[in-house]
Structure 1
Amino acid sequence: MTPLIRAENLAVEYGETRVLAGVDLALEPGEIVTIVGPNGSGKSTLVRALIGLETPAEGRVIRAPGLRIGYVPQKLHIDASLPITVRRFLSLPRRVSDAEAAEALAHTGVPGLETRQLARLSGGQFQRVLLARALLMRPQILILDEATQGLDQPGTAAFYRLIEDLRTETGCAVLMVSHDLHVVMSASDRVICLNGHVCCEGTPKVVSEAPEYRALFGLGTGGAFALYRHEHDHEHEGGAACTHDPAHEHHHHDHA
């Protein structure tokens, strides 16, 4: 199967600081992949490089021809004094019909918000409107960068269940960046643990038990790690490819 998008030996620098180095990643059609890592680990930088907003210092990003990406950013600040309705926002930058807008809002669990002012939405409503706008791109890949910041835990869990349902319904692949370890990993087929480089990679269960992952998040070496917030109806298989490099210790940068 040809990946929709892949990074090969990717490195990104800000001035003299190397934020990412030697990152290899591939996203296959239909899979949900989550990137986890501490603050400053390069997660948002990696997403920006994948969608073409950062120029690699080394390596390359290869996208399938004509690839359609739906992007839900980490934060979008709307000036409270700016009069813009949900309906108008959904037609930026590409005009969509009323029927398309209504369908997207219904799909993401916020039907009937068309006439509401963006600045008056709750955090959860706003994130779902951002998701609806991304879906209007008819994406082959949905990319979400810390899309649940500011939501409480039930709201976060509900948002990730929605993402799983959308993957099932539309067949799009999903790449998520998150710090919501327990919840988001349970919604993933594969997890990539990042700290300037790929520390380890594999199924949620395998990564959660990897020494590199546990050390990075201060989880210790013993005891079970409660991953699953809701039941899956399928089994995960496969192992982790751990690529920890002792010479590249866990430095924190401020640019992620």
Structure 2
Amino acid sequence: MNQPLIELSDIWMKFQNREVLTGVNLQVNPGEIVTLIGPNGAGKTTLVRIALGLQAPSSGQRTVKKGLRIGYMPQKLHINDSMPLTVNRFLRLTGCRLTAVNNALDRTGVTHVLQSPLQSLSGGELQRVLLARALLHKPHILVLDEPVQGVDITGQKALYQLITDLRNESRDQENCAVLMVSHDLHLVMASTDKVVCINQHVCCSGHPQQVKQHPAYLRLFGGESDELAIYTHHHDHHHGIDGHVLDPQKDCSKGSQ
């Protein structure tokens, strides 16, 4: 069995005596798309920062595969309107050659913006440029924090499909995995292999079709689950829901902090 790219074990996080994460376990394996969902204040961004190694937990362990390369795509990029920064220059700041920049933009479908100022891009174009930047150093895992922020519904569907395509394309090459944070429940379920629902703790996790039927998920998101677009695919194994991580009595009824 392949070694997990990132494994978080029994992660606890406190800020000024306020518990943000309590006993969270998370594992991302090569080639899979894992999506974190949960309400505002659930601890998703904090968990991602710990996964990236940008923040140490109050307790618990982070283990990463030796030599792991991470590509990170932030929620937003704030650029001063007066700054003369083209897409080409922005991506070349990573130290990559023009050939690599062009290849990354080609993979994300925006080669036409190479010489455009960043400020002139549409929301969808900017997110594709940020995704191209995350791909430049051939990562083993892409960490995407709200990747469709500021993009219209048509662009959101296209971006999620692109993320899925990139993962599928990489399976014969880098076997790249994706760890994604999203609030876009209607769309994200169609583009993920495993969903982890958190609200300070892991409420439930597993294949999207199973998670949407889990009582903890239904308590948290209510009737929204009936309208979700579910990605169905064939497996030669079965997914469990929350079996070894949490006490089955725990649920998401705990309020956000």
Common fold, TM-score beyond 0.5? yes
Q: Give 5+ residue unaligned stretches, structure 1.
A: none
User: For residue 235 of structure 1, what is the aligned residue in structure 2?
Assistant: 234
In structure 2, relative to structure 1, the CA distance for the partners of 1:59 and 1:52 (3 Å cut) is: same
Contact residue 145 and residue 180 of structure 2 kept, 8 A: yes
Contact residue 11 and residue 22 of structure 2 kept, 8 A: yes
User: For residue 102 of structure 1, what is the aligned residue in structure 2?
Assistant: 102
Deviation at 1:225, TM superposition (A): 1.7
Listed one character per residue, the Cα deviations across residues 6-31 of structure 1 (whole Å, up to 9, x for unaligned) are: 00000122222111110011100000
Paired residue secondary structure (1:106): helix
Listed one character per residue, the Cα deviations across residues 155-209 of structure 1 (whole Å, up to 9, x for unaligned) are: 1111000000000111200011000012111111110000000000010000001
User: For residue 132 of structure 2, what is the aligned residue in structure 1?
Assistant: 132
User: For residue 52 of structure 1, what is the aligned residue in structure 2?
Assistant: 53
Q: Following the alignment from structure 1 to structure 2, what is the Cα–Cα distance between the partners of residues 17 and 164?
A: 36
Contact residue 102 and residue 112 of structure 1 kept, 8 A: no
Please give the root-mean-square deviation of Cα atoms over the aligned residues, in Å: 1.8
Q: Give 5+ residue unaligned stretches, structure 2.
A: none
Aligned AA for 1:46? Answer: L
Aligned AA for 1:77? Answer: H
User: For residue 70 of structure 2, what is the aligned residue in structure 1?
Assistant: 69
User: For residue 13 of structure 2, what is the aligned residue in structure 1?
Assistant: 12
Mean CA deviation greater in 98-107 or 125-134: 98-107
Q: Following the alignment from structure 1 to structure 2, what is the Cα–Cα distance between the partners of residues 72 and 66?
A: 20
User: For residue 155 of structure 2, what is the aligned residue in structure 1?
Assistant: 155
User: For residue 120 of structure 1, what is the aligned residue in structure 2?
Assistant: 120
User: For residue 21 of structure 1, what is the aligned residue in structure 2?
Assistant: 22
Aligned length: 247
Paired residue secondary structure (2:195): strand
Q: Following the alignment from structure 2 to structure 1, what is the Cα–Cα distance between the partners of residues 189 and 222?
A: 17
Q: Following the alignment from structure 1 to structure 2, what is the Cα–Cα distance between the partners of residues 36 and 82?
A: 35
Deviation at 1:218, TM superposition (A): 2.6
In structure 2, relative to structure 1, the CA distance for the partners of 1:245 and 1:56 (3 Å cut) is: farther
Paired residue secondary structure (1:65): coil
Map 1:148-187 → 2, pairs under 5 A: 148-170=148-170, 171-187=175-191
Contact residue 14 and residue 20 of structure 2 kept, 8 A: yes
The answer to whether residue 145 in structure 2 is matched with residue 141 in structure 1 is no
Q: Following the alignment from structure 2 to structure 1, what is the Cα–Cα distance between the partners of residues 194 and 83?
A: 40
Contact residue 42 and residue 256 of structure 2 kept, 8 A: yes
Deviation at 1:65, TM superposition (A): 1.0
Q: Following the alignment from structure 1 to structure 2, what is the Cα–Cα distance between the partners of residues 75 and 112?
A: 21
User: For residue 207 of structure 1, what is the aligned residue in structure 2?
Assistant: 211
Contact residue 220 and residue 252 of structure 2 kept, 8 A: no
Contact residue 219 and residue 252 of structure 2 kept, 8 A: no
Q: Following the alignment from structure 1 to structure 2, what is the Cα–Cα distance between the partners of residues 248 and 159?
A: 29
Percent of paired sites with the same residue? 48
In structure 2, relative to structure 1, the CA distance for the partners of 1:247 and 1:131 (3 Å cut) is: closer
Q: Following the alignment from structure 1 to structure 2, what is the Cα–Cα distance between the partners of residues 91 and 60?
A: 35
Deviation at 1:112, TM superposition (A): 2.4
Contact residue 31 and residue 176 of structure 2 kept, 8 A: yes
Q: Following the alignment from structure 1 to structure 2, what is the Cα–Cα distance between the partners of residues 202 and 188?
A: 10
Deviation at 1:246, TM superposition (A): 4.3
Paired residue secondary structure (1:193): strand
Higher helix share: 2
TM-score, normalised on structure 1? 0.91
In structure 2, relative to structure 1, the CA distance for the partners of 1:235 and 1:228 (3 Å cut) is: farther
Q: Following the alignment from structure 1 to structure 2, what is the Cα–Cα distance between the partners of residues 167 and 246?
A: 33
